[in-house]
């Protein structure tokens, strides 16, 4: 079973990521008041850098910095408040010479622009370029790839979720192309947990392979989400075994990048998955 499409993702500064059989793990670095650090003070920025180092030590290939909690029911934050959280952390990561490429989790064009100027090399837009389409111009201007996630609260719930998702993502791809961002610069993400029922989240995981028609690399974010917690009746801290199951299943369906809190454990599970589909790496 050989399911992984091979993609080369060019990053600004001459680096690139190989997306294919080897799964990439994106470590989550939340800088919100409900996480361990909100980035606002020097100590907070230092704590965030320490956590990023820990994630990289566990094998993270990428670090995703986010200043707005998009969990259901969370308050939206303004541009300035989001900048106040993420900029000190991005500056501190750059000053620290952090090895892994950093992505900025934002749907705001202005935040994305500032973040990229401070060293972020990927834009992770949970609104799929459809909240502030100017964010596509920011990405094109700086030559950074974008993650377009599906989040469509206005979706017709009588229609098939995956078909609607493909239509939504095609629209996002059109916005990208109009801005001068080629498809090769775009990663797609089905947006687990975003305006989806428990049944829909599991149907999506079952049907993940259908998204390959778009021809883009695929990122999934299921880590500690309620699709696991509600099924198992577990708190956020107890959802790692369930998360690992979703990572392995998504890998087998051809996913390339895994956005997780628990990098080491997911990394190990993905290495075993890689060895199962394609054989162990030479020399091991
Ligand atoms: C996702 C994300 C996701 C991408 C969040 C949480 C909610 N970005 N940002 N995909 N989820 N690309 O982590 O529970 O699934 S915030």
Whole-number Å distance between alpha carbons of 260 and 252: 17
Whole-number Å distance between alpha carbons of 133 and 39: 27
User: pLDDT value at position 41?
Assistant: 83
Q: Given ligand 1 and candidates 71, 73, 221, which is best to mutate, with the most ligand atoms within 8 Å of its CB?
A: 221
Whole-number Å distance between alpha carbons of 13 and 113: 16
User: For residue range 215-252, what is the model confidence (pLDDT) as tens digits?
Assistant: 999 999 999 999 999 999 999 999 999 999 999 999 99
Mean pLDDT of 3-20: 95
The continuous run of DSSP H or E covering 274 comes out as: helix 263-278
The continuous run of DSSP H or E covering 66 comes out as: strand 62-66
Mean pLDDT of 33-40: 82
CA of 246 to the centre of ligand 1 (A): 14
- Active-site annotation holder among 21, 85, 108, 259: 259
What is the length of the chain?
Answer: 284
Confidence of residue 2 (pLDDT cuts 50, 70, 90): low
Does 234 qualify as catalytic in the annotation? no
CA of 242 to the centre of ligand 1 (A): 16
User: For residue range 83-137, what is the model confidence (pLDDT) as tens digits?
Assistant: 999 999 999 999 999 989 999 999 999 999 999 999 999 999 999 999 999 999 9
Does 127 qualify as catalytic in the annotation? no
Whole-number Å distance between alpha carbons of 33 and 35: 5
Q: What is the pTM of this model?
A: 0.97
Whole-number Å distance between alpha carbons of 58 and 71: 25
């Amino acid at each position: 079973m050989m399911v992984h499409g091979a993609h080369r993702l060019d990053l600004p500064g001459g680096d690139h990521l190989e997306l294919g059989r080897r799964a990439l793990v994106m470590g989550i670095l939340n800088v919100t008041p409900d996480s361990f650090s909100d980035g606002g003070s020097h100590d907070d920025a230092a704590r965030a850098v320490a956590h990023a180092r820990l994630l990289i030590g566990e094998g993270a290939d990428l670090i995703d910095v986010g200043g707005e909690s998009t969990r259901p029911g969370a308050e939206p934050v303004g541009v300035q408040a989001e900048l106040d959280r993420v900029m000190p952390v991005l500056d501190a990561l750059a000053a620290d010479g952090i090895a892994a490429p950093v992505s900025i989790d934002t749907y705001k064009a202005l935040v994305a622009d500032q973040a990229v100027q401070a060293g972020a090399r990927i834009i992770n837009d949970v609104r799929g370029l459809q909240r502030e389409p100017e964010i596509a111009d920011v990405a094109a201007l700086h030559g950074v790839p974008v993650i377009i996630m599906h989040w469509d609260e206005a979706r017709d719930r009588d229609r098939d979720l995956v078909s609607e998702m493909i239509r939504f993502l095609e629209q996002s791809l059109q916005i990208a192309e109009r801005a001068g961002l080629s498809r090769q610069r775009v990663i797609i993400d089905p947006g687990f947990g975003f305006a989806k029922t428990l049944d829909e989240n599991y149907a999506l995981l079952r049907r993940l392979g259908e998204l390959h028609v778009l021809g883009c690399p695929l990122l999934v974010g299921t880590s500690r989400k309620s699709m696991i917690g509600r099924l198992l009746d577990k708190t956020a801290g107890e959802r790692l075994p369930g998360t690992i199951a979703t990572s392995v299943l998504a890998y087998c369906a051809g996913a390339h990048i895994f956005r997780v809190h628990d990098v080491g454990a997911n990394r190990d599970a993905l290495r075993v998955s890689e060895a199962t589909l394609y054989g162990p790496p030479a020399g091991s």
